Amino acid sequence: MRRLRPLGVTLLCLLLSLLVSPSASAMNEADIGRKFSLIARSQFPLVHDYTVHRYVQRLGQRIVSSLEQPEFAYQFFVVREPNLNAFAVPGGYIYLHSGLLLRVSSDDELASVLGHEIAHVHGRHAFRQQQDTKLLSYAGLAAMALALINPVLAAGASSAATATQLRYQRQLEEEADYRGLQYMRQAGFDPGAMPRFLQKMWQEDRLHANAIPPYFRSHPLSQERLSYIERVLGTFQWHAPAPTDTFELEQVQAILRTLHEPRGRVVAAYQQRVREQPENAKALALLGLVLLRTHQWEQARHMLEEASLRGMRLDRDLGLAYLHLGDRERARQAFARQSEIDPGDAEAHSQLCQLYLQDGAAEQAEQACRAALTADPHREAAYVTLARLHEQRGEIGEARVLLAQAMVLQGRLEAALAQYQQAAQALGPHHPQAEEIAQHMAELQEVISALPRSRGR
């Protein structure tokens, strides 16, 4: 698995080359965030599991919906890294390490981190800090972005002249705490989870002083900061919501454990839970999810069916198990049930889209793909299937645009550029999408030129 230590150095060079380019003066926060996200897709080991992706998106968007006139279209990503870390990039791009998701105990604790990071973006803290310290260059912002990824590297990088200013200033941290608490309350989360989570992490930090989490390097924690948060909470008038069911978080943590720990050990741990509680539907479901992610299809099907008989709704995961076992009809039925019960389940729609296409039902396939992308415009498989539909109709240019969009989501930037170039040639300069395609090509060329040896992923 790739590590962020060498990646941090790479990203500093990439961002510096992008942000000090002749066109950098015209860039705004949205431009920076978008280009950073392209680099991140190409270089970061992002977690693509839909259950994980949807959980983080749901919590993040719940907080965003409480903002007054949000300026950016916020996006949330999980990086496959065991460290406890999270960082926000200008323009609304927020990244969580999987290690942080494994350490939270509730939706509220994760919401406390998301609320704080959203407050940094919504308050434009990256730009404000640079202005306050009279470091107005894009190179300074690039160094700040590196600091959010790996502050130790930023402090040691010779090109990061702003390294001593990379921690958020105290007043900006306090503002992010204050606003984050407000956002949590407005979104229906328990603001008291913020000091609980930070206190827990601070205690662990004190016990392991040689392993300071990166999150505390870029967001310094002290007793003074904890006291400030407690004082702010004392000024709020709110009723702590009732504790929520943590099963969705437990699902996410079970899936992430299969990415970080020896798979045999993870399976054994969940098998032990089932032995201790053989009638517990959640224990059966979690073991089924772990078996599914470790490619033990038949055992996964059995456990998921047992959990379903006890009242758990697991149609999407059952559909995946049936699909891998070659039972296409039962897979279709499971995905159809899931899409009817939960129309916002993009993965169920996307799977139906592929099944319909394989069966020659082009109209149903297109409807399912469109439903998937309406629910989540980041479902790369839906773009690929739509591209195949357009190819069947002889619409080669439109198909190439869709393939380019899929490849961007996959982090395959050079392949995406090649698809856009073919689309431009096929559609011609007068097509309604011609200008948009040209813009995508120019941006990809700029980013690719900054990648080491012009390498995508």
Residue where a domain stops, chosen among 315, 342, 369:
342
Query: Is there a domain that residue 352 lies in?
Result: no
Domain boundary among 342, 364, 383: 342
Return the percent helix, strand and coil in the chain, to nearest 5: 70, 5, 25
User: Closest Cα partner for 451 from 419, 414, 421, 423?
Assistant: 414
Residues 215 and 273 placed together within one structural domain of the fold: no
Q: Which amino acid is at 150?
A: N
The residue whose two tokens read 């039972």 is 327
**Tokens representing 343?**
């129309």
Q: Is 196 inside any structural domain?
A: yes
My answer on whether 109 and 51 are in the same domain is yes
CA 59 to chain centre: 11
Q: What pLDDT is stored for residue 447 in this prediction?
A: 84
Which amino acid type is present at position 54?
Answer: R
**Who's near 152: CB < 8 A, 6+ residues apart?**
214, 217
The per-type count for the chain, helices as H runs and strands as E runs, is: 24, 3
Q: Are residues 34 and 129 in the same domain?
A: yes
Tell me: do 190 and 276 sit in the same domain: no
Going by DSSP bridges, is the β-strand pair 86-89/93-97 parallel, antiparallel, or unpaired?
antiparallel
Average pLDDT per 10 consecutive residues for the chain, totaling 457 residues: 43 48 57 85 91 97 91 93 86 93 95 94 72 46 49 45 49 84 92 88 66 65 79 77 82 98 97 97 98 98 97 97 98 98 97 96 97 96 97 97 97 97 96 96 88 53
Residues 28, 113 within the same domain = yes
- Comparing CA positions, the residue from 228, 199, 162 lying closest to residue 12 is 162
- The answer on 321 and 276 residing in a single domain is yes
H or E stretch at 78: strand 75-79
Q: Where are the alpha helices (DSSP H) in 20-164?
A: 29-43, 50-64, 98-103, 107-122, 125-132, 138-149, 151-156
Sheet holding 93-97, edge to edge: 75-79, 93-97, 86-89
State whether 298 and 200 are in the same domain: no
Q: Is the same domain home to 114 and 214?
A: yes
Q: Give 453's DSSP letter.
A: G
Task: Specify the number of domains making up the chain.
Answer: 2
Quote the pTM value. 0.87
CA-to-CA dists, residue 132 to 7, 168, 171, angstroms: 29, 11, 11
Same domain flag for 53 and 162? yes
Q: Are 350 and 322 within 8 A, CB to CB?
A: no
Look at residues 112, 109, 108, 107 and name the one whose alpha carbon lies nearest to residue 249: 107
Q: Which residues contact 126 (CB under 8 A, 6 or more apart)?
A: 29, 88, 89, 90, 120, 141, 144, 145
Q: What is the pLDDT of residues 99-141, one digit of tens each?
A: 999 999 999 999 999 999 999 898 876 666 655 544 434 444 4
| CB of 120 closer than 8 Å to CB of 202 | no
Same domain, 135 and 280: no
Q: Which of 316, 342, 368 lies at the terminal end of a domain, its last residue?
A: 342
408 part of a folded domain: no
292 and 223 fall within a common domain: no
pLDDT, residue 32, reads: 80
pLDDT tens digits for range 58-107: 999 999 998 988 888 999 999 999 888 888 888 899 999 999 999 999 99
Range of the domain at 8: 4-235
Check which CATH number belongs to the domain holding 269 and give it. Answer: 1.25.40.10
> Residue 379 falls within a domain, yes or no?
no
**Residue 186 and residue 121 share a domain:** yes
Q: What integer pLDDT is reported at residue 132 of this predicted model?
A: 52
Inside any domain, residue 251: no
**What span, in angstroms and rounded, lies between the C-alpha atoms of 436 and 397?**
13
421 domain residue, yes or no? no
Q: Is residue 314 part of a domain?
A: yes
Tell me whether residue 394 is in a domain. Answer: no
